[in-house]
Amino acid sequence: MAAGTVAAVYAQALLELADERGRRADVVDDCRELVELLRQRPDLFAGMEDPKVGKVHAKDALGVAFHGKIKQETFDLLRLLVDRNRLRDLPAIAAEAIARAERAAGTVHVTATTAEALSSPAQARLTDSLKRLLGQGVVLHTAVDPSLIGGLTLRVDDLFVDGSVRRQLAEMKSLILNAPLRPDLWEGQPEGVPA
């Protein structure tokens, strides 16, 4: 089973269980914390799936580290992943659970990259425009890349829109370099004009 499929199956099951118990928001918050923790410490669970450690000891270690700090549903997921030798899939599962919950809530993350930092009024105008296009759940993230020269790029999930001056200049250069030349362009030039 592909990692994406594994993440989708476990994430959906986690969210359904959380919904049954009225804890979706809490479980999604747990997932956010786990994603951040694993981003900071990617080796956190290293060795827990080692047969020498054993599943009982691995689950005991998780209990010491997480019991009472995350909701029972999330803790049960960790224990299940140990039982099934899938703890390495936790980052993908947690990220998928967050993404599914946000989609269900209508949240759309948009990253706008500009050559210079956007002012607060410019961010507000851009956010308003994006909300008209994509819905009220738009969350704008900004980044700066001076190589864009001007304009901006937008990324929404897998959609990328490049409205940068850098791209426009590259297109113009390509058009100029690939423009067809007439074979007789230089014939019949006045004297003194190099051919």
User: What's the whole-model pTM score?
Assistant: 0.70
Higher per-residue pLDDT: 190 or 125 = 125
| Tokens, residue 79 | 């224990």
Which pLDDT belongs to residue 1? 54
Mean local confidence (pLDDT), 103-128: 95
Instruction: Tell the CATH topology of 3-104.
Output: Peroxidase; domain 1 (1.10.520)
135 pLDDT exceeds 80? yes
194 pLDDT exceeds 70? no
Which pLDDT belongs to residue 158? 86
Mean local confidence (pLDDT), 7-31: 96
Confidence class of residue 92 from pLDDT cuts 50, 70 and 90?
Answer: very high
Cα–Cα dist 190/176, whole Å: 25
Residues 22-49 as b/e (b if ≥16 CB within 10 A, e otherwise) read ebbebbbbbbeebbeebeeeeeebeebb
Domain edges within the chain: 3-104, 106-177
Please say whether the structural domain 106-177 has been given the CATH code 1.10.3470: no
Cα–Cα dist 177/37, whole Å: 50
